[in-house]
Structure 1
Amino acid sequence: MKIRSLAAMLAATVILPFAAAHATDLEVTHWWTSGGEAAAVAEFAKAFDATGNKWVDGAIAGAGGTARPIMVSRITGGDPMAATQFNHGRQAEELVEAGLMRDLTDVATRENWKDIIKPAGLLDSCTIDGKIYCVPVNIHSWQWLWLSNGAFEAAGVAVPKNWDEFVAAGPALEKAGIVPLAVGGQAWQAAGAFDVLMLALGGKDRFYKVYKDKDAEVAAGADVAKVFKAADDARRLSKGTNVQDWNQATNMVITGKAGGQIMGDWAQGEFALAGKVAGKDYSCLPGLGVNEVIATGGDAFYFPVLEDEEKSKAQEVLASTLISPTAQVAFNLKKGSLPVRGDVDLAAANDCMKKGLDILAKGNVVEWVDQLLSADSQKQKEDLFSEFFANASMTPEDAQKRFADIIASAD
């Protein structure tokens, strides 16, 4: 589990001469624009620039829901960037099938990605018809409830240890003028919060029945109805959030204006940037303190097919750099995510990251919804839960019926 300096030196001797001979600028698009995310992606840029090439940053504000259509439009419109972020899974499936994404199998084979990328499902999500089309760069898990220790102290209640205790603390937080649960206005936040509730309260088997097997009968059943009841609680507790972006909602927790937030581990980057200490200033409940299972979703980079030979060669250098041990550690410590390599030193990991590493080591993992549903099915689900959280007149029963219909036609 240690980065060996000799290995790092050898990696450098492989990359640098090649890069120096073909130094070029590469535009890289992504949606990492919050303070913590920007600090993390700067580590990738620094590592790539060190090869003699130049990372030309193409950040697109507004998170994935806003950025992905822009990225796809550029690629299909004949104006591709050199590399672009997607969540590893099915988001780039149609682009790959259209022959617009570069096959990275040769690079992956040369650098033994199948041996170093853990768990294996990460690389499987980059593989279509036996060929590898992306490089996973992190393991992001959605299944966290982030808590402001100061907010609960101000409300005179103990920091919750699970979802039920959190819901029970809601009235005390509200009495103290604190929003219990911060949920931003972007559709993916509401849908993601529901999916977290589905896994934590419904359990792994039921989660897979709905999202992997597309079992509409289970989606319409009594057990999932309990998840919709919890989503109704979350909707009620989030009233008064009044922010749009996820990092604005995270900032409410950081500043004690909100008691908690259901959000992925990327929220840690914001806590770190604000100088907050895990276990002291804030607490974290993996699996909402109910079911300590995390998803092995996350981010990956795809490389559009380019006509420029020099840029094509530099794409290989970038792919190699993103997966290198030093870049993996530097990026993920700032991003709040876990590295995709199992051979790196994470002694500097904080209390919450260590919880994630422990769960990962035990194998308590699942594929996430991005890996199980098509982009179209995901969009339908996001639209439903955006409306559900914004419209208190929509009953949990009505929402569940619409949800079951989406699952029935999902691909």
Structure 2
Amino acid sequence: MRVSKLTAVLCASVAMPAMATELEVTHWWTSGGEAAAVAELAKAFDASGDKWVDGAIAGGGGTARPIMISRITGGDPMGATQFNHGQQALELVEAGLMLDLTDVAEANNWKEIINPPSLLEACTVDGRIYCAPVNIHSPEWLWLSNKVYEDLGLPVPKDWNEFVASAPKVREAGKLPLALGDQPWQSNLAFGAMQIAVAGLDAWKAVNVDKNMDVAAGPEYAKVFQAAAEARELAKGSNVQDWNQATNLVITDQAAGQIMGDWAQGEFQVAGKVAGTDYTCLPGLGLNEYISTGGDAFYFPKLNDPEKEAAQKRLAALLVSPEVQVAFNLKKGSLPIRGDIDLSAANDCMKKGLKILAGGNIVPSGDMNWSPDVQKQAEDLMVEFWKSDMAPEVAHQKWVEILKSGL
């Protein structure tokens, strides 16, 4: 990436630095694919004349977020920090601890270029903009090892139902049908993926957008919990912790499949695997092709330092710039937050996501629909469900009560 290109982007909002300003940036991107992607952000910021000080926190968002929040509220803020789209940083914004980026957004026409608009809306509180979206991540994908099926003489499944039907032969061959890591958010992600895939878009919207508890308690969602019980059986023997360890079981053909977000692409890419040849990706588990507009954004805690504040605004503008959006998202496996950039180098899986995004078959992520408290209770329920023999009917009833508590 040439400095001249970055200069053109940054001059639209804030002046270039006379000398490098260091900013510590905290995030939870530590897997191979994630590290390759975040390195693109650091490279671009350093090339622009400032200095990215990496503050990676291992263990995923569930581990990192409390540390980040504690530092900000405890008077030891970083220069910038990752959060997911939605309400994760809302209380920090309302407490006056986050930098207002409205001037940067207006100078760079974010309202015109960021797509879908819900991404910027998730950054907006009382009409002011407090974060820079960097990607769209959809968690509802089924990733399959083509070789596992080729070795068994079976066709690669085209959807979740075919995947479940193939599982007995996969198990008989000594392979793991479904890889699933032991972190709580992973079982919760798998359940979320099944909601639209099995219940369908209309039922999902009725529950999560319209808050219709009759639909939540009805037969469409009873099917979701039955599917989750099936998946629980398929995942028995998946003795790994981290999501990327589970992805590696698919990459190395030890497991047939994994339900995971499109960030799994980064791991396949680092391993030299080719989409459509070595592995297959099924958005919406192949049943209902859609993507949810989750993903990541960067917030900038107030530092009471004019020099660092100027650097924060330069970084915010840079993250949304066309060159950075291309370089970062091609490595991350996520979709860009602007549709006016060249992604001809995208692989087959990213092209599937781009096609779905262009067609408008999208839904807001859970972070945008339910409060953090409801999400945490639902996650705890899913952990209990996946680690026990809890009947799906019991889990269903408990889940509905959790949703009602958030109305």
Per the normalisation by structure 1, the TM-score is 0.96
**Change in CA separation of 1:243 and 1:131 when aligned onto 2, cut-off 3 Å:** same
The residue aligned with 1:84 is 81
The residue aligned with 1:29 is 26
Cα distance in 2 for partners of 1:376, 1:246 equals 23
The residue aligned with 2:395 is 399
Deviations 1:203-261 (A, max 9, x none): 22211222223333322211100000000111110111100100000000000011011
Question: 1:123 deviation in Å?
Answer: 0.6
Cα distance in 2 for partners of 1:227, 1:189 equals 16
Cα distance in 1 for partners of 2:65, 2:210 equals 26
The answer to whether the aligner puts 1:221 opposite 2:227 as a matched pair is: no
Q: Where do residues 12-411 of structure 1 align in structure 2 (5 Å cutoff)?
A: 14=11, 18-21=15-18, 23-391=20-388, 393-410=389-406
Deviations 1:155-187 (A, max 9, x none): 332100011000000001001111111111111
SS at match of 1:18: coil
Structure 2: segments with no counterpart, 5+ residues: none
Deviations 1:99-133 (A, max 9, x none): 11111111100110011111111111111111111
Question: 1:374 deviation in Å?
Answer: 1.5
Question: 1:31 deviation in Å?
Answer: 0.3
Structure 1: segments with no counterpart, 5+ residues: none
Cα distance in 1 for partners of 2:297, 2:10 equals 25
Letter in 1 for 2:316: A
Cα distance in 1 for partners of 2:171, 2:318 equals 48
Question: 1:15 deviation in Å?
Answer: 7.2
Letter in 1 for 2:403: I
Taking only the aligned residue pairs, the percentage that are identical comes to 64
Question: 1:298 deviation in Å?
Answer: 0.5
Confirm or deny: 8 A CA contact 1:22 1:314 kept in the other structure.
no
**Change in CA separation of 1:397 and 1:65 when aligned onto 2, cut-off 3 Å:** same
Displaced runs of 4 or more, over 6 A: none
Confirm or deny: 8 A CA contact 1:217 1:404 kept in the other structure.
no
Give the paired residue count: 407
Letter in 1 for 2:259: I
SS at match of 1:279: coil
Letter in 1 for 2:43: K
Letter in 2 for 1:397: E
RMSD: 1.8
SS at match of 1:285: strand
SS at match of 1:168: helix
Deviations 1:7-62 (A, max 9, x none): 93662572799333252100000000000000000000000001111000000011
Cα distance in 2 for partners of 1:208, 1:187 equals 24
Cα distance in 1 for partners of 2:33, 2:220 equals 37
